[in-house]
């Protein structure tokens, strides 16, 4: 892939190289209305201002989508339009471009549209109609299963046959930077005791889950399904997702209907949606599945992505420690398979739906995507920089997730930050 050099100053190690061009929703001090933008290097391009100049007129789509407070209307235009917009912008920013008159030679438009990112407020990039979380990180599922049932019964009989998932709470998905309040709830002080009598308490086992999120740009009518061969048309782009989890609340509540309050106090996503097109060069195979899948789940393409993932923890006023490095390939099922399965019974999907991949853990120590795994079920402490120790999260801790593909030569394609700080539980 040729490296895309730009006339615009883009730091070599930026995750927002010309090979990326992710979409988000910004607001600024001078203009408080949230509107679409594209990230480029240390800047972003205000798409409302940019499109108002007529720059997109040759592409023939309805530019009013760039005056909306979410990306849903833009996403609805479909993948061919997303592709042509992104290609056009790549060309506009390329050195020796045939479109130099659009921006490169237009200083006043540059002043209107190009905004330093450190002065910008990010908003949820899409109106999330429904949120589903899957469980396709096989190593995570195995590790957690081992903790509770031993290796022989770690995975349920259904695990390799279908992408297990559950409906999440759409209203609780927030953009990176939003503080996360420790939940109160029912926990078992002594899970091994009988009879089981819960107490009311702040969560004492607050955890993270490193995931990828996929946003949909196209739905289906109730009663119809999305064939796996068409799944790609429905997927807009990807974000990082931190599925904060209250392990003690979850353990007491989850049988038989699944996780509920253990999850719905908050889930954080990174603010810049990396389009599916931008991840094309990084397609990869995922975890091999030795189970013969039913035909509706069989796919020919490699639909998993090689994304280097990293999670850092920073205690309040303390030093930052990287607590895990993983990779987006550590998934047993792809988003295409999750979507085909989700809609197979006629469930209506919609523009703005968010799918979570499930916790992405590798097989090696240091690659586990949750503190439950890293601490071996809360048995071992993790030593952080600055002489600090952790098993689970404490009040004041900030967790930041990163993801990036590619090399500096070809242009890094990254997700920005997915971050959140833990606030104390309210005293009730």
Q: Which residues are catalytic?
A: 140
Q: Does 88 participate in binding another protein (rule CB under 8 A)?
A: no
Spatial contact of 356 and 243, defined as CB atoms under 8 Å apart: yes
The least distance separating another protein from the CB of residue 30, rounded to whole angstroms, comes to: 28
* Residue 31 vs 196, nearer CB to another protein: 196
- From residue 259 to residue 278, the character string flagging contacts with another protein as x (rule: CB under 8 A) and all else as - is xx---xxx------------
Whole-angstrom distance, CA of residue 414 vs CA of residue 18: 11
**Piece in contact with another protein (CB under 8 A), picked from 20-28, 180-188, 234-242, 389-397:** 180-188
What are the distances in angstroms from CA 292 to CA 228, 234, 288, 310?
16, 25, 11, 32
Stretch that binds another protein, among 118-126, 250-258, 310-318, 407-415 (CB under 8 A): 250-258
Q: Could you tell me how many residues of this chain bind another protein (CB under 8 A)? A: 62
Q: Which of 256, 288, 365, 387 binds another protein (CB under 8 A)?
A: 256
- Return the residues of window 26-55 that contact another protein according to CB under 8 A: none
Whether residue 250 is annotated as binding a ligand: the answer is yes
Is 299 among the annotated ligand-binding positions?
no
Within a 10 A sphere around the Cβ of 121, how many other Cβ atoms?
14
Task: Determine the Cα–Cα distance for residues 85 and 59; give it in Å rounded to an integer.
Answer: 7
Q: CA nearest 404: which of 306, 312, 337?
A: 306
Contact, 356 vs 211, CB < 8 A?
yes
- Kindly tell me which of 211 and 353 has the beta carbon lying closer to another protein: 353
* Of the residues 350, 377, 388, 410, which one makes contact with another protein according to CB under 8 A: 350
Tell whether residue 298 is among the known ligand binding residues.
no
Q: How far apart are CA 310 and CA 17, in angstroms?
A: 19
In whole angstroms, what is the distance from residue 413 CA to residue 280 CA? Answer: 11
| Segment contacting another protein by CB under 8 A, of 31-39, 91-99, 177-185, 320-328 | 177-185
Residue labelled with tokens 């689970």 = 392
Neighbours of 223 (CB within 10 A): 9
Q: How far apart are CA 33 and CA 133, in angstroms?
A: 31
DSSP 202: E
The span of 10-18, 207-215, 219-227, 317-325 binding another protein (CB under 8 A) equals: 219-227
Among 13, 58, 224, 285, binds another protein (CB under 8 A): 224
Question: Which residues are at the interface with another protein (CB under 8 A)?
Answer: 129-130, 132, 135, 156-158, 161-162, 164-172, 174, 179, 181, 184, 186, 195-200, 219, 222-225, 252-260, 264-266, 294-296, 341-342, 344-350, 353, 423, 426, 428
């Amino acid at each position: 892939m040729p490296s895309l050099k730009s006339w615009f100053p883009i730091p070599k190690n930026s995750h927002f190289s010309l090979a990326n061009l992710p979409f988000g929703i910004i607001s600024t001090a001078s203009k408080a209305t949230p509107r679409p933008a594209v990230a480029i290097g240390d800047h972003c391009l205000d798409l409302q201002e940019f499109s108002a100049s007529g720059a997109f007129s040759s592409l023939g789509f309805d530019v009013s989508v760039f005056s909306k407070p979410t990306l849903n209307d833009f996403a609805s235009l479909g993948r061919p339009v997303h592709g042509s917009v992104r290609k056009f912008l790549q060309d506009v920013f390329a050195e020796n471009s045939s479109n130099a008159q659009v921006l490169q030679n237009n200083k006043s438009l540059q002043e209107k549209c190009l905004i330093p990112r450190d002065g910008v407020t990010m908003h949820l990039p899409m109106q999330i109609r429904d949120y589903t979380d899957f469980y396709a990180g096989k190593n995570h599922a195995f590790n957690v299963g081992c903790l509770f049932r031993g290796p022989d019964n770690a995975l349920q009989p259904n695990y390799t046959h279908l992408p297990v998932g559950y409906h999440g709470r759409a209203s609780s998905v927030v953009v990176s930077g939003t503080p996360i309040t420790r939940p109160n709830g029912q926990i078992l002080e002594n899970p091994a005791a009988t009879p089981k009598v819960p107490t009311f308490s702040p969560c004492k086992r607050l955890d993270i889950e490193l995931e990828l999120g996929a946003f949909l740009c196209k739905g289906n009518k109730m009663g119809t399904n999305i064939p796996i061969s068409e799944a790609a048309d429905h997927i807009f782009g990807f974000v990082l997702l931190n599925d904060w989890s209250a392990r003690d609340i979850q353990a007491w509540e989850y049988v038989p209907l699944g996780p509920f309050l253990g999850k719905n106090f908050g889930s954080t996503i990174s603010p810049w949606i990396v389009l599916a097109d931008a991840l094309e060069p990084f397609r990869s195979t995922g975890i091999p599945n030795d189970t013969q899948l039913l035909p509706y789940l069989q796919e020919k393409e490699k639909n998993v992505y090689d994304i280097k993932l990293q999670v850092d923890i920073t205690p309040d006023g303390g030093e930052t420690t990287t607590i895990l490095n993983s990779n987006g390939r550590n998934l047993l099922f792809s988003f295409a398979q999750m979507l085909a399965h989700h809609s197979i019974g006629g469930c209506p999907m919609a523009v703005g739906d968010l799918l979570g991949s499930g916790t992405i853990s590798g097989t090696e120590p240091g690659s586990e995507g949750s503190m439950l795994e890293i601490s071996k079920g809360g048995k071992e402490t993790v030593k952080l920089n600055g002489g600090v120790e952790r098993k689970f999260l404490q009040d004041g801790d900030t967790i930041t997730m990163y993801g990036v593909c590619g090399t500096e030569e070809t242009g890094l394609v990254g997700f920005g930050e997915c971050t959140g700080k833990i606030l104390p539980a309210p005293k009730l």
